[in-house]
A and B are shown apart, each in its own frame.
Chain A
Amino acid sequence: MQANYHKKQKLHFVYIIIGILFLGLAMIGSIIYGSTDIHLSTIFDSIFHFNHDNSQHLVIREIRLPRGIGSAFVGAFLAVAGAIMQGMTRNPLASPSIMGVTDGAGLGLVTVLAFFPALSTLGQTYAAFIGAGITVIVVFIIGNASKTGLTPVKLALAGVAIGTFVQSITSIISLHFQLEKQLSFWIAGGLANTDWSTVKILIITGTVGLIIALFISNSLTLLSLGDDVATGLGQKNILIKGLAIISVFMLTGAAVTTAGAVGFIGLIIPHIVRFLVGNDYRWILPISAVFGAVLLVASDIVARMVNAPYETPVGAITSIIGVPFFLYLARGRGGSNL
């Protein structure tokens, strides 16, 4: 039993290491391929012997590198947020978007586009964040505000309902002010405009969320067994749920304001990881982060190559790469644990 446990731990480390290796490869690929292909050695030069007059160095430093790093973090954050949502609601259909974060961010964005069109990109980011935050708070209050308290089902239903409601208001505003096109671009998601200033906000906000997530990972494992079990073991569920929601908000908010509504990663990566490592959130969260990063960086490469010079929505590519693997696992393991 003990030996078996240690063997499993080792296996989990192997997953992380393999994941990081793939991430490294994908990042290099993401820097090499593009409208002009760049030689491998140039990458090292651009980092260690940077030359201002070399246009390839500039492309790497100012375009490719932030884009690669940005997509890695977005993928990681979405996957972790999805894992938290599925654990907390005990629903395999849960994804970061069902807390209404994406919808709220969309409403914030459309509101400033409609009423304060002169606002800077940074201002739009803040607006999206504020919209997401308000929506999450409303979902939490509604999920919580009844005699039976915050049951997983109620949280999920409140999230979906409020999210859809907010989305409707967004589409009415955007139809009225003729912003459909900007909105649908944003919804389709994409990493084309990632620069260092967006990456900075992304990393700072998301990392706070990630730390909270790791901090409560053990409690999430208990919570995923059921509220009663967790309470029986002496856990303060409402506190854990509050922290989990804050974490989901920061992770998803950071990802969504950077890359738009990239679907699917937050839904499927946690399932894939759960098939591999079981129900221990101390492992699910970090492995989800690594796998999510790999999937998004790789998908982003495909997204800009498949229909060049146009970019294909990265969400579609993540699905195409991820679905066969996901279906294979869902069949193989019979979708246990949730």
Chain B
Amino acid sequence: MKKKKYMLIISLLILAILASSLLSLNLGVISISPMEVWNTIIGQGTKQQELVLFDFRLPGIVLALLIGMGLSVSGSVLQSITQNELAEPGIIGINAGAGFFIVLFIYFFQEVIPINSSLSIFSMPIFALLGAFTAAVIIYLLSWRKGINPIRLILVGIGVNAGFGAALIIFQLKMDPQDFRQVTVWLSGDIWNADWLFVYALLPWMLVFIPFVIWKSNTLNVMTLTDSIASSLGARVEAERLWLLFAAVALAGASVAAGGGIAFLGLVAPHIAKRIVGPLHQYMIPVATLIGAFILITADILAQNLFSPTSLPVGVIIALLSTPYFIYLLLKA
């Protein structure tokens, strides 16, 4: 990978993200022209424009970017530590764990805490995060047997995913239609409450764990080899894997808590990055981070505006948007 070409790719991606973000600021039920956006940013917009831009659209955009980054990095790490190309947070049960806790929360606390109250809006993500970590702990404990074997980790992940998924459906069926819908929307992925508080809650996770993962790039490079090679090269495989798994779960858990079960992004962004800049993690992960952010922000724009005022689930658009390019890359390889 030539340094120059790499910097070019990174710059292009950042430009694309900026363009999409600007577009996203313009579009919506109340459309605000680029000129007006600029005026509002320098403090000369109307009260209404300020409210729409700063309190509704901007936090939504920042959230979308952060969630996209979190899911992509999480997917990259999981694909490497399990040595499996199909791995992503969803498939090993992290989304299902988060979803199950959300369902439990709504099921048991709906009388105590009314669903659209601000208390529930802020406690639901915490429950989702708890669920994600519960799933991860169960997976880790069950696959521990004198160490972790990547295949066993994946297999146990499938099992835990299926178990949580089933429990989720059974609880969900006992709900009244209103709650049922809420859970369905949540599960299919939705940046539900664009609010600065969420941004502040999500930001620390990303600021800690994404740099951590990039810092661990060399370990990840070694880990995609077999375990025996990795340990003979001096990687403290077990401890490193635990930390990386923790980072992956933290990123996915925080993203899922804010954005629901957005599927496919954690799978496809790392693959696209790998096909563009090769498998070395120090190059691949930053690119995957940006690609994830770009795909999610663009998908969010389309989901909100394509059939406005009806909005589509953002997961649907992610698939439509990223598959053709992904297929092209598969064909080219």
Interface residues of A (CB under 8 A from B): 91-94, 98, 142-143, 145-146, 148, 153-154, 156-158, 160-162, 164-165, 167-169, 171-172, 175-176, 188, 263-264, 267-268, 271, 307, 310, 312-313, 315-320, 322-323, 326-327, 330-331, 334-336, 338
Contact = CB atoms under 8 A, between A and B. Distances in A.
Contact of A331 (B156, B312, B327, B332): B156
Interface string B308-327: 00101101110110011011
Interface string B133-177: 000000000110100010110111011101101110110010000
B330 A161 contact: yes
Contact of B319 (A146, A164, A318, A335): A164
B332 A168 contact: no
Nearest to A154: B330
B266 to A, nearest CB: 12
Contact of B333 (A146, A164, A326): A146
A43 to B, nearest CB: 30
Contacts of A264: 162
A273 B331 CA distance: 35
A146 B330 contact: yes
A316 B156 contact: no
Interface stretch (B85-93, B218-226, B246-254): B85-93
Query: Of residues A153, A158, A327, A336, which shows the largest number of chain B Cβ atoms within 10 Å of its Cβ?
Result: A327
A97 to B, nearest CB: 12
Nearest to B149: A334
29 contacts: A92-B84, A92-B155, A93-B84, A93-B86, A98-B86, A146-B330, A146-B331, A157-B330, A158-B330, A164-B263, A165-B319, A168-B315, A168-B320, A176-B307, A312-B170, A312-B173, A313-B169, A315-B166, A316-B166, A319-B166, A322-B162, A323-B163, A326-B155, A327-B142, A330-B142, A330-B155, A331-B143, A335-B151, A338-B151
B281 interface: no
B278 to A, nearest CB: 16
B194 interface: no
A4 B103 CA distance: 51
Chain B contact residues (Cβ within 8 angstroms of A): what range? Answer: 35 or more
Interface of B: 84-87, 91, 142-143, 145, 149, 151-152, 154-156, 158-160, 162-163, 165-167, 169-170, 173, 263-264, 267-268, 271, 307, 310, 312-313, 315-317, 319-320, 323-324, 326-327, 330-333
Nearest to A93: B86
Contact of A267 (B85, B149, B162, B264): B162
Given A161-B323, A164-B263, A316-B170, A145 B331 contact: yes
Nearest to A144: B331
A309 to B, nearest CB: 13
A172 B312 contact: yes
Query: Of residues B149, B159, B173, which shows the largest number of chain A Cβ atoms within 10 Å of its Cβ?
Result: B159
B159 A330 contact: yes
A14 B130 CA distance: 44
Contact of B162 (A158, A164, A268, A313): A268
Contacts of B319: 164-165, 167-168
A65 to B, nearest CB: 27
Nearest to B328: A142
A154 B329 CA distance: 11
Nearest to B170: A316
B327 A327 contact: no
Nearest to B144: A331
B320 A330 contact: no
A164 B315 CA distance: 10
Contacts of B163: 319-320, 323, 327
A313 B320 CA distance: 28
Contacts of B91: 93
A307 B156 contact: no
Contact of A162 (B154, B271, B313, B323): B323
